[in-house]
Structure formats: structure tokens, C-alpha cells
Structure 1
């Protein structure tokens, strides 16, 4: 298959995942370019950020219309992330473009992917705890209350929020990973009462200027390749639209589990773990992970296993309810 057509197909698949889950763009596209297309890490980061800068506003507009964005948080995050993202590009540029820098970028990308995988698991566990609490309320005949707020209803913490933006922006500028994974986990820790819809909407909107800043830096100082980026965009744009249409029907939980496994495998590969050790590690995760998850479900009052499609419909219904302005 022609290289450009292969890149279009890869962009389509990644776009569908982004549309379905709201994350995975940089965490999938950059390692895919490095591992499967032998694109130098710096060029992969540059192209991915420019693609993301085009895709992000589409989802951001949707969430702004639905009222699931806290513009206060967006402002404080951008105060730190926008200059830091541009600065991350300058740091990479200052290090040079030799083989040593390419290897360093590869290692930094691998570490960021492992953090992103851990963040996905953390988000899933928090959702599990919330479902267990609601199930316990229903079983006891108590009214099922929601202590989450789509926007507002909590005190904004400016300094920690700006620091999250600085750290996230620096990582995004250097590796392209983090705008939809690492920052959202930090928001989850700082604002636990922010609903799932508010969390995703706020993170997506703040990522627009963040990624635009990093993309501008890479256009000016990075290793941007127009042909590579154009092919990816041809696939990504319809993929995001299709994924968004499928998001209400597809089992998002299953997609996120697969995404976490892919992030883990990509991170380990980029960090140079031998193939045999990587296969053994993934095998342990595949076997032990579901057992630990079943144990966690039981501990929080849920059945060990639940129908994935039913759970997906319940989660979608929950997010729609939380998206209604209060």
C-alpha cells in the first residue's frame, strides 16, 4: 500500500478513537508515526501537533454550546500552558537535532505515554467509585444524589491550576502528549466535584490554545513536514466526526481499556524494553488486570462483571444528565 494512503488510513483510525473517547490523539499518533512509519521523533511531534491544532476546535465548539466548559479554569490553565508549550518547543530546539536529541525525545515520549496510560486507569477507577456509590444509594432506598457540578459549584484554585498548565504545556510542547490525558488527570485531582462532561469539555477547550501555541512553535522551529501532516488530516477529520457519531453507541469503556493497553505497549517499546520482556509484561497486565478490576467492582458494591453495552448506555445517559446546566 502506498505510504500516503497508509497514513490516511492511520489518521482515520486515530480520528475515530479521538471522536469516541475524547483522547488519544497525540498519545496514539506520535508513537504510531515513530514505531510504524519510522518518522524521526521530532518530525512526528511537529506533525501531530499541527493535526491536533486543526481537530481540537471542532470538539471545543460542541462543548461550549452544551455549557460543559468552565471558562475560569480554561483561563488559568492557559495562563500557564500557552507560554510553556511554546517554551517546550524552544527547549527541544536548543538541544539540537542530532541522534542524541532524537533518542532523548523518544524516551520522553515513552515516559509520557506510560503516564497517560496510568491516567486512563485512574479516571476509570474514579468512575467506578461513583457508580458504586450511586448503586448503594439505590439499594438503600436513598435518593441518588449527584455531588458533581458541570461548571461552578467549587472554588477555583488559581496557583495550582496555573502550575498544572505550565507542566502540561511543557510536556505537550516537547512530546505532543498530554493535552487530553495528563492535564485532565491533574484537573480530576484538583477539582473532584467537576462532572465527567465538565471535565472533558474544560480540558478540550483549554487544549485549543495550548496545542495551537505548540503547533506554532513547531511550524517556526520544529521539524514540520507538510506532506505527512496533510495525509494525516485527510484521514483524521472524517474519523473524528465518525467517532463522535459512534460515541453514544459504542462501548467506550472497552475502547479505553484497549487504548490503555496500546499506550502501555507503545511506551515500553519507546523506552527500549526488549520484545520478550514487553510481551511478558503485557501478558501479565491482560491476565491480572481484569481480576483486579473485578475485585475493585465487588469492593464498591457492584457485580464482578457487567454487560459492556449496558454500562456504556448508562454512562452516556449519566453524562447527558450532567451536561444539563443547573
Structure 2
């Protein structure tokens, strides 16, 4: 049976995601650990599948309606992230099979990811403003024209970024949203913000799906929890998206970043 408390929590997180644009993992996973007492591994595994499902609708809109997904960049990110995600899952499975506790590794990784996400929240608006100022006036937003920062090294830099995200997201379920967006804004300063968001979403789906299925195979997914969160979060995201224009995000984002920073340090030093 679906739990009302989980549904309400899903709605609340979805509401914040819709208002702030912050990735659900950075909000959902700490909530599941601290409020409901789930083991970090179960919270991470469940949230990864939750993220892969909820992001599908966003990519559908970005690709079909806005044509705002740079699929070549998605491919480069996935070239680094998916093998690293599979490698990380293999290590976690081996630790699990041998009876070693993986909770501490996941907890520490979650703390680091939350701290990085908090920092990303504080600089993302700055990078977005700069990206809008240097955006090209024409409609040519190819990978080459967007790669103004590292020139001929943008391909290995993008693959390396994907690799880092692959490990971090698999271990913590955090990073596919805020960190991915900031990384793309830094790597491709001339890419429009709409394409940055669409590209990051498109890359997050296969990454979170692979990582989530891997955690499921290890036994780190609670299906009742997953269903409850989905029931609550989908309307929450819809409501939050409509409220985002009415809530002063410039005040809410620093508060949220500070909260994530404190939670991150708690995970790291507990």
C-alpha cells in the first residue's frame, strides 16, 4: 500500500524542484535518511529510479517542443558517465557480496555531493547570466560553436565531466541536476540556458536509470516508497513550476544552498 507520509513528502520535494529547479536527489535523499530513517543505500537507490522516471517528461518537452537538447553533448557525457556508473556498481556489488558495509561509502559520497551541489546553486545564476550575455544571436548552436572555453579539448573535457558525474550520481543520487547544469554552463558558455537544461536532463535519464537498476539488483530499492513518491511528486512539480514566477527565487536559492551545505557536512562528519 502507498504511504500517505511518503506521498506528502514526494509532493513537497516536487514543489521545491518546480520552484527552484534544484535536482530532486539533493532534497529527496536526505529527507528519506533523516525523516524516515531509511538506510542511505536504499534512499540513494530508490531516488535514482525516481529521478529517471520523473525526468522523462521534462526531456519530452525539451526535445519535442523546444528542440533544446544537444544530443552530441549528451553522447559525450554518456560516454564517460555510463561506463563509470557500471564500474561503480560493480565495486558496490562486490563489497555487498563479500559482506562489507557500503553504507559509510555512500553516506560520505552523499555528503560531498550535497556540498558541491550547494556551491553549484550559488554560482549557477551567475554562470547563466554570463551565458545569456555571450549567447550567439543566430540559431547556430552546434557543439563546435558552443565549445568556446576549451576549443579542441572540449571533447575529452566533456567525457571526463561525464565520468565524474557517473561515479558521483551512482554513489549519492545527487549531481545529475545542479552539478550537471553548472558543468555544462562552464564547458559551453555560448550554449543557451534552455539547451543547457534540456541537455542535462537528457543525459540524466540514462545515467540515473542505469544506476537505479544497478542498485535495484543489489537490493537497494524500496518499490512501495518509489510508487508513493511518484504519486506525490508529479503534481508537486506541476504546482511548483506554476508558482516559480511568483516566488522570489533569489532569496529561496541561498537559503536552500545553506541548508544543503549543512546537511552535506553532517553526512561527511557523522
Does the pair score TM above 0.5? yes
> RMSD between aligned alpha carbons?
2.4
Q: Find out whether 1:20 has 2:23 as its counterpart.
A: no
Task: Please state how far the C-alpha of 1:100 moved relative to its aligned partner.
Answer: 4.0
Tell me if structure 2 keeps the 8 A contact 1:90–1:221: no
Aligned twin of 1:190: 187
- Cα 1:239–1:87 shift into 2, 3 Å: farther
Task: Please state how far the C-alpha of 1:99 moved relative to its aligned partner.
Answer: 7.6
| SS of residue matched to 2:256 | helix
Q: Of residues 131, 141, 154 in structure 1, which corresponds to 2:146?
A: 154
Task: For 1:58 and 1:256, locate their aligned partners in 2 and report how far apart those are by CA, in whole Å.
Answer: 24
TM-score by length of 2: 0.87
Task: For 1:180 and 1:18, locate their aligned partners in 2 and report how far apart those are by CA, in whole Å.
Answer: 10
- Cα 1:99–1:84 shift into 2, 3 Å: closer
Aligned twin of 2:111: 110
Task: Please state how far the C-alpha of 1:32 moved relative to its aligned partner.
Answer: 0.9
Task: For 1:222 and 1:159, locate their aligned partners in 2 and report how far apart those are by CA, in whole Å.
Answer: 34
Task: For 1:197 and 1:17, locate their aligned partners in 2 and report how far apart those are by CA, in whole Å.
Answer: 20
Structure 1 gap segments, 5+ residues each: 132-144, 274-326
Structure 2 gap segments, 5+ residues each: none
Task: For 1:7 and 1:195, locate their aligned partners in 2 and report how far apart those are by CA, in whole Å.
Answer: 36
Task: Please state how far the C-alpha of 1:195 moved relative to its aligned partner.
Answer: 2.3
Tell me if structure 1 keeps the 8 A contact 2:118–2:260: yes
Comparing 31-40 and 150-159, the one that deviates more = 150-159
State the number of aligned residues.
258
Q: Of residues 164, 167, 175 in structure 1, which corresponds to 2:161?
A: 164
Task: Please state how far the C-alpha of 1:234 moved relative to its aligned partner.
Answer: 1.2
Aligned twin of 1:55: 54
Task: For 1:86 and 1:23, locate their aligned partners in 2 and report how far apart those are by CA, in whole Å.
Answer: 25
Task: For 1:255 and 1:24, locate their aligned partners in 2 and report how far apart those are by CA, in whole Å.
Answer: 15
Write out per-residue CA displacement over residues 72-93 of structure 1, whole angstroms, 9 at most, x where no aligned residue: 1111111221232233222222
Task: Please state how far the C-alpha of 1:222 moved relative to its aligned partner.
Answer: 3.9
- Where in structure 2 are the equivalents of 1:237-276 lying within 5 Å? 237-272=234-269
Tell me if structure 1 keeps the 8 A contact 2:23–2:176: no
Write out per-residue CA displacement over residues 120-154 of structure 1, whole angstroms, 9 at most, x where no aligned residue: 112133346x49xxxxxxxxxxxxx9421483332
Task: For 2:239 and 2:186, locate their aligned partners in 1 and report how far apart those are by CA, in whole Å.
Answer: 31
Write out per-residue CA displacement over residues 159-216 of structure 1, whole angstroms, 9 at most, x where no aligned residue: 1111111110111111111110222222222112222222111111111111111112
- Cα 1:270–1:146 shift into 2, 3 Å: closer
Task: For 2:227 and 2:100, locate their aligned partners in 1 and report how far apart those are by CA, in whole Å.
Answer: 26
Aligned twin of 1:307: none
Aligned twin of 1:83: 83
| SS of residue matched to 1:104 | helix
Aligned twin of 2:72: 72
Task: Please state how far the C-alpha of 1:251 moved relative to its aligned partner.
Answer: 2.5
Task: For 2:68 and 2:248, locate their aligned partners in 1 and report how far apart those are by CA, in whole Å.
Answer: 22
Task: For 1:255 and 1:59, locate their aligned partners in 2 and report how far apart those are by CA, in whole Å.
Answer: 23
Task: For 1:95 and 1:182, locate their aligned partners in 2 and report how far apart those are by CA, in whole Å.
Answer: 27
Q: Whose RCO is larger (CA < 8 A, sep 6+)?
A: 2
